[in-house]
């Protein structure tokens, strides 16, 4: 069997089927180089036209319908759900339903149980009747796969809020963990920052176990309505899973005997921790899930909806809403203006836009204003390190990230600013902070140092996505590339990063991509970094990467990789429908490796030229970004613009790093 365009699962498609619907690219009449130059100009004009007046760029950040469903469930829980918002959200959710009645977590992906349950419940809130054809088909599919009992923990927490699941049948999460010192296993700083921000408020929710009156029953989602909460069997005691399952049972017993005063004090401490981390815009961490759970937790602790903290938090949620022309309302899990702006700046500069172009200078001014100059949670592990990083979002001073900081420095070096001293100071702070955030193995994670504890992922509570932040090849590569540009290619810290990257190469020549899909992204990040740091194109690691990229190139000339490569690398590594962003990543690696005149590059450039739209943009329904590998996927709507422009610009103009050094 093959994977079908409607997302049904199957065996690996043959190479021709893995390619996109675009037919094989024929030679461009005007010649590939001339056509690429023309496409570069059109893409440049398009991207310049999308800049905000304040200097930033931001594309939509599309994830899946659980964001929309949980937004409605939150509003139902707090008593603030209104009909207009509900119907707009329902319009979007219905539009994402697949032909088999399910919802997927990425375009073309298989139906996913928890997402389908949450979408179904949201549509019930919107008034869709369970016997309607689209609802009956969904509920039957849910029952066939084990019903609510087989859903992830987070889904069952949402259902427990309304009595559709029993709290006592959920993993225990005691608020007393707020007191664990950082050297104790499973302290909150052992979790990645996104998980930490979610877990702290959920300890309050777990302790309080609230139940709001359910607006309707959900018997149709249980395989046996008479036994809605079946007991799950324990794993063997000698396994990690079995040990942590038994620990959870012990915590359930402890709940009954834990000192009430200690529990109340722990919840108050959790509330203080939450409030201290609320951003100026009212959100938490610049991402939607922690904001949702923080609002529930604070409300349970007595904060009414008119309290300034609650009011600001609720107002911040509306800023995650994207209203579409048809009246549908999509919720972004996060917003990416810093990331989008630095990538857009790099793309435009590499495409030949003058370094002192007013729009690039405006972008640099905006990025300079976004630098974070106060400590955040990262300073728990690096208390003596001065701040100086950049975050991903508009407001997220507590959690700057290493990846954004590296790319912002790369972007700023491409701009000829009228106040170069200010730029140099900002870059100096960013470089110092990134160097200080190097993990002990020589590599870099996204937000924290040495966030590699093996225990958090073992908790029964953590059954959805990655909850730690270990170093990754793509982040490390971006830091190495930035350090090389700053003249630190031979610094011992940079060399340790390079050695780690070389050791992490897969046997087939690719690199794993933690924050982008997947081996194409990892390879497209690492090869340019290695070459920038002085590794020659003839190096065996670079040659293996080139061979792999040539091997996985699609018949149509593009590159693509399905998210299933995270779950089944053997079948899906480097395989999937051609996309603009992934084709660009492959080209960026090949160009850096000195393959500009190769047939693979010519065919890849021709694919980008042939698939460009009249307005200079590209279309890309496929998800090529990653939140949690396999579990949470992202379609960055600006990726399809910035990365093709970067690749074409480097093909047309060559040596972007040399140009950037000259502008600095």
For residue range 425-465, list pLDDT tens digits in order: 999 999 999 999 999 999 999 999 999 998 888 787 777 77
Alpha-carbon torsion angle 622, 628, 631, 632, nearest 10: -50
Confidence band of 227 (pLDDT split at 50, 70, 90): low
Identify whether residues 408 and 295 lie together within a single domain: no
pLDDT per residue over 340-381, tens digit each? 999 999 999 999 999 999 999 999 999 999 999 999 999 999
What is the per-residue pLDDT for 464?
A: 78
Query: Per-residue pLDDT averaged across 117-129, rounded?
Result: 98
Tell me the average pLDDT across 159-172: 93
User: 193 near 199, Cβ under 8 Å?
Assistant: no
Q: Are residues 492 and 534 in the same domain?
A: yes
**Domain for residue 10, yes or no?**
no
Q: What percent of the chain has pLDDT over 90?
A: 84
Q: What tens digit of pLDDT does each residue of 200-216 get? A: 999 999 999 999 999 99
The whole-angstrom separation of Cα 556 and Cα 578 is: 8
Average pLDDT, rounded, for the chain: 91
Q: What pLDDT sits at residue 369?
A: 98
Number of domains forming the structure of the chain: 2
Q: Is residue 554 part of a domain?
A: yes
Q: Last residue of some domain: 296, 316, 331?
A: 331
587 in the same domain as 445: yes
Q: Do 310 and 411 belong to one domain?
A: no
DSSP track, 127-193: T--TTSHHHHHHHHHHHHTT-GGGS-HHHHHHHHTTTSS-GGGS----GGGGG--TTSTT-GGGS-H
Render pLDDT for 553-576 as a digit per residue (tens, 0 to 9): 999 999 999 999 999 999 999 999
* Minimum mean pLDDT range among 227-231, 356-360, 420-424, 553-557: 227-231
Considering the domain architecture, whether residues 385 and 308 belong to the same structural domain is answered as no
Say if residue 158 is in the same domain as residue 214. Answer: yes
Over range 633-642, report the average pLDDT: 97
The arithmetic mean of pLDDT across residues 191-203, rounded, is 94
| pLDDT value of position 435 | 98
Residue 510 belongs to a domain? yes
Q: What phi and psi, each to the nearest 5 degrees, are found at residue 323?
A: -95, 125
Residues 296 and 411 in one domain: no
Overall average pLDDT of the 319-344 stretch: 96
Q: Is residue 204 part of a domain?
A: yes
Q: Is the same domain home to 368 and 311?
A: no
Of the given ranges (128-142, 280-294, 496-510), which has the lowest mean pLDDT?
A: 280-294
Per-residue confidence (pLDDT) for residue 248, from 0 to 100: 57
Question: From CA 40, how far away is CA 643, in angstroms rounded?
Answer: 11
Give 584-623 pLDDT, tens digit per residue.
Answer: 999 999 999 999 999 999 999 999 999 999 999 999 999 9
Range of the domain at 422: 15-59+336-453+463-663
Cα 199 to the chain's mean position, in Å? 18
Active-site entry in 350, 403, 404, 562: 403
Q: What is the mean pLDDT of residues 624-650?
A: 96
Mean pLDDT of 533-557: 98
Domain boundary pick from 310, 331, 352: 331
Q: In the predicted model, is pLDDT for residue 11 greater than 60?
A: no
Task: Report the share of the chain in percent with pLDDT over 70.
Answer: 90
In a domain, 412, yes or no: yes
CB atoms within 10 A of CB 440: 10
Whether the pLDDT of residue 15 is over 70: the answer is: no
Beta bridge partners of 334: 287
Is the sign of the CA dihedral 515, 516, 520, 521 positive or negative? negative
Give the pLDDT band (50/70/90) at residue 24.
very low
Instruction: Name the band, by pLDDT with cuts 50, 70 and 90, for residue 492.
Output: very high
Q: pLDDT tier at 232 (50, 70, 90 boundaries)?
A: low
Catalytic residue check, 404: no
Question: What's the mean pLDDT in 380-390?
Answer: 97
Query: Nearest to residue 531, comparing CAs of 487, 586, 489?
Result: 489
Q: What is the pLDDT of residue 463?
A: 78
- Residue 421 and residue 548 in one domain: yes
Domain at 146, CATH number: 1.50.10.20
Q: For residues 157 and 171, is the Cβ–Cβ distance under 8 A? A: no
> Are residues 545 and 579 part of one domain?
yes
* Distance, CA of 467 to CA of 645 (rounded, Å): 34
Mean pLDDT of 51-64: 97
Asked whether the predicted pLDDT for residue 10 surpasses 70, the reply is no
Task: Report if residue 485 sits inside a domain.
Answer: yes
The answer on 552 and 479 residing in a single domain is: yes
């Amino acid at each position: 069997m093959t994977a079908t365009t409607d997302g049904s699962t199957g065996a690996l498609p043959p190479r021709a089927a893995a390619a996109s619907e675009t037919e094989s690219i024929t030679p461009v009449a005007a010649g590939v180089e001339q056509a690429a130059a023309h496409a570069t100009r059109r893409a440049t004009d398009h991207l310049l036209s999308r800049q905000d007046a304040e200097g930033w760029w931001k594309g939509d950040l599309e994830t899946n319908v659980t964001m929309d469903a949980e937004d409605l469930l939150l509003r139902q829980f707090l008593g603030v759900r209104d009909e207009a918002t509900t119907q707009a959200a329902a319009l979007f959710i219905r539009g994402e339903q697949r032909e088999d009645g399910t919802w997927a977590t990425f375009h073309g992906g298989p139906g996913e149980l928890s997402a389908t349950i949450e979408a179904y419940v949201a549509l019930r809130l919107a008034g869709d009747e369970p016997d309607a054809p689209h609802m009956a088909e969904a509920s039957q599919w849910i029952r066939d796969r084990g019903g609510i009992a087989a859903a992830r923990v987070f889904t069952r927490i949402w259902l427990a809020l309304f009595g559709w699941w029993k709290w006592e049948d959920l993993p225990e999460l005691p608020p007393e963990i707020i007191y664990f010192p950082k050297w104790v296993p499973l302290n909150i700083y052992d979790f990645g920052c996104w998980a930490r921000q979610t877990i702290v408020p959920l300890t309050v929710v777990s302790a309080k176990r609230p139940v709001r009156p359910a607006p309707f029953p959900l018997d149709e989602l249980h395989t046996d309505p008479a036994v809605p909460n079946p007991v799950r069997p324990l794993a063997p005691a000698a396994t990690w899973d079995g040990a942590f399952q038994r620990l959870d049972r012990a915590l359930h017993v402890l709940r009954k005997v834990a000192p009430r005063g200690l529990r109340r004090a722990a919840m108050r401490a959790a509330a203080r921790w939450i409030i201290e981390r609320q951003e100026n815009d009212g959100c938490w961490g610049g991402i939607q899930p922690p904001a949702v759970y923080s609002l529930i937790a604070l409300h349970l602790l007595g904060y009414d909806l008119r309290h300034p903290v609650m009011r600001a938090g609720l107002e911040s949620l509306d800023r995650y809403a994207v209203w579409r022309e048809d009246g549908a309302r999509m919720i972004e899990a996060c917003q990416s203006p810093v990331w989008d702006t630095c990538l857009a700046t790099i793309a435009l500069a590499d495409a030949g836009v003058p370094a002192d172009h007013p729009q690039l200078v405006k972008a640099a001014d905006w990025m300079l204003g976004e630098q974070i100059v106060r400590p955040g949670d990262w300073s728990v592990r690096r208390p003596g390190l001065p701040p100086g990083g950049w975050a991903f979002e508009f407001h997220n001073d507590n959690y700057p990230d290493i990846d954004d900081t590296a790319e912002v420095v790369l972007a700023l070096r491409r701009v000829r600013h009228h106040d170069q001293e200010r730029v140099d100071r900002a870059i100096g702070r960013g470089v110092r902070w990134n160097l200080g955030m190097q993990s002990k193995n020589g590599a870099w994670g996204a937000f924290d140092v040495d966030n590699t504890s093996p225990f958090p992922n073992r908790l029964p509570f953590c059954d959805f996505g990655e909850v730690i932040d270990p170093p990754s090849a793509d982040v490390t590569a971006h830091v190495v590339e930035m350090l090389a540009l700053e003249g630190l290619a031979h610094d011992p810290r940079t060399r340790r990063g390079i050695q780690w990257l070389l050791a992490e190469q897969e046997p087939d020549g690719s690199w794993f991509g933690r924050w982008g899909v997947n081996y194409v992204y990892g390879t497209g990040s690492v090869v340019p970094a290695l070459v920038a740091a002085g590794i020659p194109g003839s190096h065996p690691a670079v040659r293996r990467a080139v061979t792999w990229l040539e091997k996985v190139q699609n018949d149509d000339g593009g590159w693509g990789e399905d998210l299933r490569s995270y779950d089944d690398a053997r079948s899906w590594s480097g395989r999937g429908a051609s996309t603009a962003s992934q084709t660009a990543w492959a080209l960026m690696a090949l160009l850096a490796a000195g393959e500009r005149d190769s047939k693979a590059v010519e065919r890849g450039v021709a694919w980008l030229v042939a698939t460009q739209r009249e307005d200079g943009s590209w279309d890309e329904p496929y998800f090529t970004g990653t939140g949690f590998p396999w579990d949470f996927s992202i379609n960055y709507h600006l990726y399809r613009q910035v990365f093709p422009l970067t690749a074409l610009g480097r093909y047309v103009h060559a040596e972007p790093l040399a140009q950037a050094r000259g502008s600095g």
